[in-house]
């Protein structure tokens, strides 16, 4: 029985071509900047984002932290969404490691923050207050239904930031899902931010790694912060090689994941006892709720697991499912069949 793992797009495995590229990669010591494969990946990433320079880091979490440490000093403040990954799921790293203060404001269901909320969170000059330094955005927004933020919205945040002398960082762990869903060039997003981080290891399916992009000066300082965090890697071309393939071949296929997510959501909408707002499904992430009293999230998760389907429950009645490379339309149909069976067996 094939295991259908819908917990996350982080479970994706590298393609055969990626494995071959890893085996054959030309290597050197990247702390000495002598790994030609890492250099090639970083050059490609900088070109794709329209930024001057890029830096390979070990994870999205490290990428975000390296950027925050580069933008902010101790006692300075970051404005970010209360449902952002950086706030919820990164061990409070900016505070723990950097002495940097997170100032959360509400994320709307579409992943945006109201400009008026951002504006009123910006501190004035007062001895009691930390200095506001940075605004962080997340695109696509993981907790907010995987919604892609429009480049127009990002532009409006950039204008406000510029007026107030603030920087903007983008947690673009899944920015390529936004690129594909909205059909706009990556540069339409990156041009509105001072730094961005994107994951190679999620929808793009490489085993390890994220990339941070910004100006040459920013990346030079980010390199020091990466070293501080223990992220100076040596023959890192091993992980950069599949990244180069990912940026070349794995972006346009994300449309397939989006189609499968939609198919799954539409199927779930027809199962009595489950509820989903199909209009929220824009990329590869769907959330649905159990409406019936007959089954708990834990019971449903266990029943699915017995059928070889892995799902993530994110609350007592809520599930998140993520489509990705390795999940096809047949897997979606099987998942719907099993869900139907489970929900129709009442009591």
Ligand X SMILES: *Cc1c(COP(=O)(O)O)cnc(C)c1O
| Binding site residues, ligand X, CB under 6 A | 59-61, 85, 138, 142, 171, 173, 199, 201, 210
Whether omega for the bond prior to residue 139 falls within 30 degrees of 0, making it cis, is no
Q: Least separation, in Å, of the C-beta of 173 and ligand X?
A: 3
Q: Least separation, in Å, of the C-beta of 341 and ligand X?
A: 31
Rounded distance, CA 47 to CA 51, Å? Answer: 7
Question: What residue number has its CB nearest to ligand X?
Answer: 60
Pick the closer one to ligand X by CB: 65 or 274: 65
Rounded distance, CA 252 to CA 250, Å? Answer: 6
Question: What Å distances lie between residue 23 and 19, 242, 325, 339, CA to CA?
Answer: 6, 10, 21, 41
Please check whether residue 294 is in contact with residue 273, taking contact to mean a CB–CB distance below 8 angstroms: yes
Pick the closer one to ligand X by CB: 85 or 303: 85
**Phi, then psi, of 113 in degrees rounded to 5:** -120, 140
Q: Least separation, in Å, of the C-beta of 197 and ligand X?
A: 7
Pick the closer one to ligand X by CB: 138 or 331: 138
Q: Least separation, in Å, of the C-beta of 63 and ligand X?
A: 7
Strand segments, DSSP code E, in 92-219 are 101-105, 131-138, 167-171, 195-199, 210-214
Rounded distance, CA 214 to CA 79, Å? Answer: 19
Pick the closer one to ligand X by CB: 42 or 206: 206
Q: Least separation, in Å, of the C-beta of 98 and ligand X?
A: 16
Q: Could you tell me what percentage of the chain is helix, strand and coil, using 3-state DSSP and rounding each to the nearest 5?
A: 45, 15, 40
Pick the closer one to ligand X by CB: 60 or 267: 60
Pick the closer one to ligand X by CB: 15 or 201: 201
Rounded distance, CA 73 to CA 99, Å? Answer: 8
Nearest C-alpha neighbor of 332 from the set 228, 259, 252? 259
Pick the closer one to ligand X by CB: 85 or 258: 85
Pick the closer one to ligand X by CB: 149 or 161: 149
Q: Least separation, in Å, of the C-beta of 60 and ligand X?
A: 2
Pick the closer one to ligand X by CB: 5 or 138: 138
H/E element holding 274?
A: strand 274-275
Please check whether residue 333 is in contact with residue 309, taking contact to mean a CB–CB distance below 8 angstroms: no
Residues contacting residue 23 through CB under 8 Å, at least 6 positions apart: none
Sign of CA dihedral 275, 304, 267, 286: positive
Q: Least separation, in Å, of the C-beta of 199 and ligand X?
A: 5
Rounded distance, CA 54 to CA 340, Å? Answer: 47
Q: Cβ atoms within 10 A of the Cβ of 346, count?
A: 9
């Amino acid at each position: 029985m094939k295991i259908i793992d819908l917990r996350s797009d982080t479970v994706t495995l590298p393609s055969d071509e990626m494995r071959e590229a890893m085996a054959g990669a030309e290597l050197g010591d990247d702390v000495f900047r002598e790994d030609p494969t890492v250099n090639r990946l970083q050059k490609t990433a900088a070109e794709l984002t329209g930024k001057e320079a890029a830096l390979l880091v070990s994870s999205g979490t490290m990428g975000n932290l390296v950027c925050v440490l580069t933008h902010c000093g101790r006692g300075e403040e970051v404005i970010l969404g209360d449902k952002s990954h950086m706030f919820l799921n990164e061990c409070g790293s900016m505070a723990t490691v950097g002495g940097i203060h997170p100032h959360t404001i509400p994320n709307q269901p579409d992943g945006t923050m109201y400009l008026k909320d951002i504006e009123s969170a910006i501190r004035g000059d007062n001895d009691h207050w930390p200095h506001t330094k940075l605004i962080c955005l997340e695109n696509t927004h993981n907790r907010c239904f995987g919604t892609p933020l429009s480049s127009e919205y990002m532009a409006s945040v950039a204008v406000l930031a510029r007026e107030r002398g603030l920087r903007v960082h983008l947690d673009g762990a899944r920015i390529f899902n936004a690129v594909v869903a909205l059909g706009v060039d990556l540069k339409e997003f990156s041009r509105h931010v001072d730094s961005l981080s994107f994951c190679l290891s999620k929808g793009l399916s490489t085993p390890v790694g994220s990339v941070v992009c910004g100006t040459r000066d920013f990346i030079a300082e980010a390199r020091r912060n990466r070293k501080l965090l223990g992220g100076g890697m040596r023959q890192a071309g091993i992980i950069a090689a599949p990244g180069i393939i990912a940026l070349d071949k794995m972006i346009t296929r994300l449309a397939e994941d989006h189609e499968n997510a939609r198919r799954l959501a539409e199927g779930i909408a027809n199962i009595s006892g489950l509820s989903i707002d199909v209009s929220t499904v824009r990329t590869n992430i769907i959330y649905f709720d159990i409406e019936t009293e007959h089954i708990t999230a834990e019971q449903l998760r266990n029943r699915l697991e017995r059928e070889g389907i892995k799902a993530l429950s994110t609350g007592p009645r809520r599930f998140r499912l993520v489509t990705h490379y390795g999940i096809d339309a047949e897997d979606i149909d099987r998942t719907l069949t099993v869900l139907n069976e489970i929900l129709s067996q009442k009591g």
